[in-house]
């Protein structure tokens, strides 16, 4: 998601010939809509442009399929996904549409809508006994906002409509096809700072949620307030309101590493959407919202604070040849099931210090990463992560 997508025309006929064409919105009826992963970024480098495009599309299909499984499978069953790791996602593709693309002699970058065959995916999961939820919740209004607590002397400036990276990332997420679909809207002028401050306090939260519902004419309104703590080198995000699973509030801090505010805010938005999906899946798979606390993002969608992540600590040095390769590694760490509490320290031109939690520690994590084409090797007390060559 970190790559910049630029509109261009390059071998579109080849792509359309390889896969059934569909409209950019990839709209489908009923539960089938959740089987589309929209606006998915792909990129690859190779000896020539054709090879780069083929690699990008093949890798994009695999990554999009993993995203689909994480979308519809409850977080408590993520480990079961490993049972179908050998499945070739190309056999399940229903259609691909190009939103934007650009290329050079050795690089291909694009944003794709990838649609999977709903019946075939359901059959695959049912055969393996993997639970899933593909029925969409009623749509929830999401209000991305920013907060500057130091502006309290001028209350009107304390809360603002999201701008910059926080405002830009939400439209890039696949909000419509989620199992917990969202519709981004702006803050209504009649909602003052007192209503938003009330969401931070247990004693006043219910009243603030009711005020939001009255203003928007629906019970399902959630605010996502990002506050940058420069001194603490973190971004605090409050996710609060009522969604299809009921009222809730979640405060979460995201470490601001290497001054990369845009990436931190992007991660926070992805995690926030995952929390809402996890809550809906939990209550529709025989559990409760508390079950979604097993989220790989360490967030507790049913409470007011982050949970303590489970798993063994694994610290390693990620080594890469450039930003494109590092972005691909980061995406795998976010998407692979079971990886928890991801912390990225110093990042240089060719390596980054990373720590995660994973059940079974380094040896177990190495097996999972190997299925994504990444090698995690114990080099005498120091784990090193590299792209497999």
In terms of DSSP bridges, do strands 36-45 and 340-347 run parallel, antiparallel, or are they unpaired? unpaired
pLDDT on residue 200:
93
> What is the CA angle 178-182-188, rounded to 5?
175
Q: What is the mean pLDDT of each run of 10 residues along the chain (389 residues)?
A: 29 31 45 90 91 91 92 87 90 92 91 94 94 93 90 66 91 94 94 92 93 95 94 90 92 81 90 91 67 37 36 85 83 78 76 84 86 85 84
User: Considering only CA atoms, which of 165, 41, 140 is closest in space to residue 99?
Assistant: 41
Task: Please check whether residues 105 and 193 belong to one and the same domain.
Answer: no
Task: Determine, yes or no, domain membership for 198.
Answer: yes
| Number of structural domains in the chain | 3
Task: Please check whether residues 51 and 154 belong to one and the same domain.
Answer: no
| 145 membership: H or E segment, kind and range | strand 140-147
Range of the domain at 65: 12-127
Tell me the CB-side half-sphere exposure of residue 162, using CA atoms within 13 A: 24
Task: Determine, yes or no, domain membership for 3.
Answer: no
3-state class (DSSP) for residue 268? helix
Which of 75, 103, 127 is the last residue before a domain boundary? 127
Task: Determine, yes or no, domain membership for 300.
Answer: no
Task: Please check whether residues 276 and 151 belong to one and the same domain.
Answer: yes
300 contacts 248 by C-beta, under 8 angstroms: no
Tokens 């996710």 belong to which residue? 239
pLDDT on residue 156:
54
158 contacts 151 by C-beta, under 8 angstroms: yes
| 118 membership: H or E segment, kind and range | helix 118-127
pLDDT on residue 152:
54
368 contacts 336 by C-beta, under 8 angstroms: yes
Task: Please check whether residues 120 and 144 belong to one and the same domain.
Answer: no
Between CA 353 and CA 389 the distance in angstroms is 21
Task: Please check whether residues 253 and 339 belong to one and the same domain.
Answer: no
Task: Please check whether residues 244 and 368 belong to one and the same domain.
Answer: no
Task: Determine, yes or no, domain membership for 299.
Answer: no
pLDDT on residue 4:
31
DSSP 54-100: HHHHHHHHHHHHHHHHHHHS-GGGGGGGGGGTT--GGGGEEEEEEEE
Task: Determine, yes or no, domain membership for 242.
Answer: yes
Query: Quick one: CA torsion of 330, 371, 316, 71, rounded to 10 degrees?
Result: 40
CA 213 to chain centre: 26
Task: Determine, yes or no, domain membership for 303.
Answer: no
Between CA 116 and CA 330 the distance in angstroms is 24
CATH number at residue 320: 3.30.70
Task: Determine, yes or no, domain membership for 135.
Answer: no
353 contacts 317 by C-beta, under 8 angstroms: yes
pLDDT on residue 230:
84
Task: Please check whether residues 152 and 289 belong to one and the same domain.
Answer: yes
Task: Please check whether residues 159 and 214 belong to one and the same domain.
Answer: yes
Between CA 276 and CA 221 the distance in angstroms is 12
Task: Please check whether residues 145 and 252 belong to one and the same domain.
Answer: yes
Task: Please check whether residues 53 and 190 belong to one and the same domain.
Answer: no
| 167 membership: H or E segment, kind and range | helix 164-169
Which of 127, 153, 180 is the last residue before a domain boundary? 127
Residue 200 CB-density burial (10 A; 0-12 exposed, 13-18 middle, 19+ buried):
middle
pLDDT on residue 151:
67
Tell me the CB-side half-sphere exposure of residue 258, using CA atoms within 13 A: 14
pLDDT on residue 110:
92
Task: Please check whether residues 177 and 276 belong to one and the same domain.
Answer: yes
> Residue 85's CB: how many other CB atoms inside 10 A?
13
Task: Determine, yes or no, domain membership for 196.
Answer: yes
Task: Please check whether residues 316 and 376 belong to one and the same domain.
Answer: yes
How many angstroms separate the first and last alpha carbons of the chain?
A: 23
């Amino acid at each position: 998601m970190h790559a910049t997508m630029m509109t261009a025309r390059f071998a579109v006929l080849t792509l359309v010939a390889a896969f059934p064409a569909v409209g950019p919105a990839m709209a489908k009826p009923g539960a089938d809509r959740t089987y589309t992963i929209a606006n998915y970024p792909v990129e690859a480098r190779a000896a020539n442009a054709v090879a780069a495009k083929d690699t990008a599309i093949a890798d994009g299909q695999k990554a999009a399929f993993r995203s689909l499984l994480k979308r519809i499978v409850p977080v408590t069953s993520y480990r079961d996904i490993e049972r179908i790791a050998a499945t070739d996602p190309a056999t399940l593709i229903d259609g691909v549409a190009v939103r934007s693309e650009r290329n050079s002699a050795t690089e291909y970058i694009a944003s794709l809508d990838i649609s999977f065959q709903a019946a075939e995916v359901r059959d695959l999961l049912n055969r393996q006994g993997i639970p899933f939820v593909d029925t969409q919740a009623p749509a929830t209004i999401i209000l991305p906002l920013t907060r500057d607590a130091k502006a309290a002397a001028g209350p009107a400036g304390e809360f603002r409509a999201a701008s910059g990276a926080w405002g830009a990332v939400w439209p890039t997420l696949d909000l419509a096809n989620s199992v917990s679909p969202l519709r981004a809207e702006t803050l209504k002028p009649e909602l003052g700072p007192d209503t938003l401050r009330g969401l931070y306090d247990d004693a006043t939260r219910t009243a603030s949620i009711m005020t939001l519902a009255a203003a928007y004419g629906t019970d399902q309104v959630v605010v996502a307030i990002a506050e940058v703590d420069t001194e603490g080198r973190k971004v605090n995000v409050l996710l609060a309101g009522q969604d299809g699973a009921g009222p809730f509030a979640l405060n979460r801090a995201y470490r601001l590493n290497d001054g990369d505010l845009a990436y931190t805010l992007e991660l926070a938005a992805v995690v926030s959407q995952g929390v809402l999906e996890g809550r809906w899946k939990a209550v529709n798979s025989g559990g409760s919202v508390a079950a979604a606390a097993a989220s790989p993002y360490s967030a507790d969608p049913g409470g007011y604070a982050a949970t303590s992540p489970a798993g063994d600590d694994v610290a390693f040095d990620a080594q890469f040849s450039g930003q494109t390769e590092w972005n691909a590694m980061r995406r795998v760490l976010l998407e692979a099931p079971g990886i928890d509490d991801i912390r990225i320290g110093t990042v240089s031109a060719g390596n980054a210090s990373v720590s995660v939690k994973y059940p079974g520690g380094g040896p177990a994590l190495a097996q999972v990463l190997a299925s994504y084409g990444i090698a995690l090797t114990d080099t005498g007390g120091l784990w090193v992560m590299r792209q497999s060559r």
